[in-house]
Structure 1
Amino acid sequence: MRLAALLSAAALLLGSAADAVPKVGSPAPAFSATDSAGQAVTLSAYRGRFVVLEWTNAGCPFVQKHYQGNMQALQKEATAQGAAWLSVISSAPGKQGHVSGAEADALTRQRGAAPSKVLLDPSGTLGRLYAAKTTPHLFIVDPHGTLIYAGGIDSIASADVDDIARAKPYVKIALAEAMAGLPVSEPVTPPYGCSVKY
């Protein structure tokens, strides 16, 4: 009887750990993932730099909205200032957005995108580790490895490219504040887009 109770308690603890959502202000979840070139990429390798994690799916209209120039501009601005930008594809095989490494690289070239790396996460392990819900869904990790932002790219949850100019650019502001040594004024915002296709 006591053993069953202990096992039940252990299962609950393990379940809650697996379902844990990373908390802004806490260490960002460590990971090792494979990039589009087949190389292992770890978060720890970027210690000392800002890191932006961007969940993406080329078939999603919300992603397509931002890849008409907005996402590329953010990527180029961030990396020009020394940040690493990691685009993550967590679409499972057979689901919308799933691509091979070669297809991911072709897509990057075709869109004029400028991520530091594209991480392939067909098992959804990395996506679930960060509780990524939508494409796009963005996270910022500071040079000490602390998660300092989680949420939407901006404030208008639509697939209309005309809304970008009117929206509050959450990620752009958060990165600028953090790089200036200021606290992020809005560290958690609602993500919007298509559901991640786990």
Structure 2
Amino acid sequence: MKRVLTAVMLTAALGVAGPAFAADTAEVGKPAPAFTLKDEAGKEHSLAQYQGKIVVLEWTNPDCPFVQRHYKADTMQNTLKGFDGQKVVWLAVDSTSSNTPDKSASWKKGEGFTYPVLVDAEGKVGKTYGAKTTPHMYVIDEKGVLRYAGAIDDDPRGKNASAVNHVKTAVDSLLTGKPVPAATTEPYGCSVKYKS
């Protein structure tokens, strides 16, 4: 009991916020934190502009071997192709501290995908969402509520031909009005290279 009281008093003394802090961070089942970022071409994208659509956020880094494997296999592109473009938006986010719009544009052109790469070199949005790995995936419903956070699939090593694509499952569930079966999974990949 004495230890618990000490911990509570220490938390209060340090000014560590409780629920007010949680409102500014991503939590499944709660409204996703708002953001505005520019893409590789300098165009602004805000979460608010996609209200009414399902939004998939993909934290990425072209230098990460896990990301390279998924792009070689077209995992992200094929997942997106299976969705109705009028109902689902896919945004890649690169929070690598050394990233620039030119690097993102060059990578996008080389890989041949069409969705925007949002540049978050300051890492503010990545930290708000708690993005830990590349890839780290988030699915936000039409009302702006975060419904899934975790891995793209259940196959970290890329050796399972019958891997479960968690993002596809989450989006399909939302499109059919069903609850997402696994709202969180453990993300895998390289650590996000945030500014120190």
TM range (shorter): 0.7 to 0.9
- Aligned partner of 2:43: which letter? Q
CA distance in 1, matches of 2:148, 2:172: 12
- Aligned partner of 1:138: which letter? M
1:170 to partner: Cα distance:
0.8
The 8 Å contact of residues 24 and 150 in structure 1, kept in 2 or not, is answered as yes
Give the structure 2 partner of residue 152 of structure 1: 151
Q: 1:194 to 1:86 in 2, by over 3 A?
A: same
CA distance in 2, matches of 1:19, 1:196: 22
Give the structure 1 partner of residue 6 of structure 2: none
CA distance in 2, matches of 1:109, 1:77: 22
TM-score by length of 2: 0.85
Give the structure 2 partner of residue 86 of structure 1: 91
Aligned residue runs from structure 1 range 59-74, under 5 A: 59-68=63-72, 69-74=74-79
1:80 to partner: Cα distance:
2.9
The 8 Å contact of residues 78 and 84 in structure 1, kept in 2 or not, is answered as no
Measured on the aligned residues, the alpha-carbon RMSD in Å equals 2.5
Give the structure 1 partner of residue 176 of structure 2: 180
1:109 to partner: Cα distance:
2.0
The 8 Å contact of residues 55 and 132 in structure 1, kept in 2 or not, is answered as yes
Q: Which runs of 5+ in 2 are unaligned?
A: 1-8
CA distance in 2, matches of 1:83, 1:155: 22
SS in 1 for 2:17: helix
1:138 to partner: Cα distance:
0.3
Give the structure 2 partner of residue 111 of structure 1: 111
Q: 1:171 to 1:178 in 2, by over 3 A?
A: same
CA distance in 2, matches of 1:81, 1:188: 26
CA distance in 1, matches of 2:24, 2:85: 33
- Aligned partner of 2:106: which letter? A
Deviations 1:168-190 (A, max 9, x none): 11111111111111111111111
CA distance in 1, matches of 2:170, 2:22: 28
Give the structure 1 partner of residue 50 of structure 2: 46
Structure 1 residue 167 and structure 2 residue 163: aligned? yes
The 8 Å contact of residues 24 and 33 in structure 2, kept in 1 or not, is answered as no
CA distance in 1, matches of 2:38, 2:138: 18
Structure 1 residue 122 and structure 2 residue 121: aligned? yes
Q: 1:153 to 1:142 in 2, by over 3 A?
A: same
CA distance in 1, matches of 2:105, 2:24: 32
Aligned residue runs from structure 1 range 2-81, under 5 A: 9=13, 11-13=15-17, 17=21, 21-68=25-72, 69-78=74-83, 80=85
Deviations 1:67-110 (A, max 9, x none): 011111113333635311110000002xxxx2x22331221121
SS in 2 for 1:166: coil
TM-score by length of 1: 0.84
- Aligned partner of 1:84: which letter? V
1:44 to partner: Cα distance:
0.4
Q: 1:112 to 1:62 in 2, by over 3 A?
A: same
